[in-house]
Amino acid sequence: MKKHFVLYLLLVSVCILMLFSSCTTMTSEKRITPYSASVSFPAEGPYTVLGRVSYVSSQGTAGYRELLQQAKIKYPSADDVVNILVDSEDTFNVITDSFTGAKQTSLVGSVYSMSGIAISYTTPLQD
C-alpha cells in the first residue's frame, strides 16, 4: 500500500509540475525600408543643406531629438533635421506558452534605424 501511495504522489507531483511549467520564446520582427516617412522640406527659405544623418536607437531612445543630436555631432552648425525616414524597425517580443494552452505575448522593445537631412538656417529663426 505504501508503495502505491509513493507512486501516486510522484505521479501527482509530475502533473502539477507540468501544469505550472511554461516555455518562453523570444522573437524578433523586422520591418525594412522605409515603413514610415516625413518627407517634406521647409519652404524655400534661408537655409543651407548640410547632409544626411543616420541614427540607430537603443531600446526606448528613438525620436527627433536623438536624430538632431546626431546631426549636431556630425555637423556642428545644424539647426534642424528634415525629410526624416524611419528606415527599419526591429521589434522584440517574449512569447510564453504553458502546457494548458495559454499563450501570452509581451512587447520587450523596439530598435529603430532613422535618417534625415541636416540643415542650417542662414538667418535667425523668428519665434
Residue 50 confidence (pLDDT): 93
Q: What is the pLDDT of residues 69-125, one digit of tens each?
A: 999 999 999 999 988 888 787 777 777 776 666 777 777 777 888 899 999 988 765
Residue 106 confidence (pLDDT): 76
Domain borders along the chain are 22-121
Residue 77 confidence (pLDDT): 93
Question: Is the per-residue pLDDT at 32 higher than 70?
Answer: no
Residue 13 confidence (pLDDT): 77
Name the one residue in this structure whose C-alpha cell is 509581451: 106
More confident: 18 or 92: 92
- The residues, any chain, with a CB within 8 Å of residue 75's CB and separated by 6 or more, are 50, 51, 53, 118, 120
Mean pLDDT within 8-30: 67
Q: Which residues of 23-54 are buried (b: 16+ CB within 10 A; e: fewer)?
A: eeeeeeeeeeebeeeeeeeeeeeebeebeebe
- 89 near 31, Cβ under 8 Å? yes
Residue 92 confidence (pLDDT): 76
Q: By mean pLDDT, which of 8-17, 28-37, 91-100 is the weakest? A: 28-37
For the question of whether the overall pTM of this predicted structure is more than 0.75, the answer is no
Q: What is the pLDDT of residues 48-70, one digit of tens each?
A: 889 999 998 877 677 888 899 99
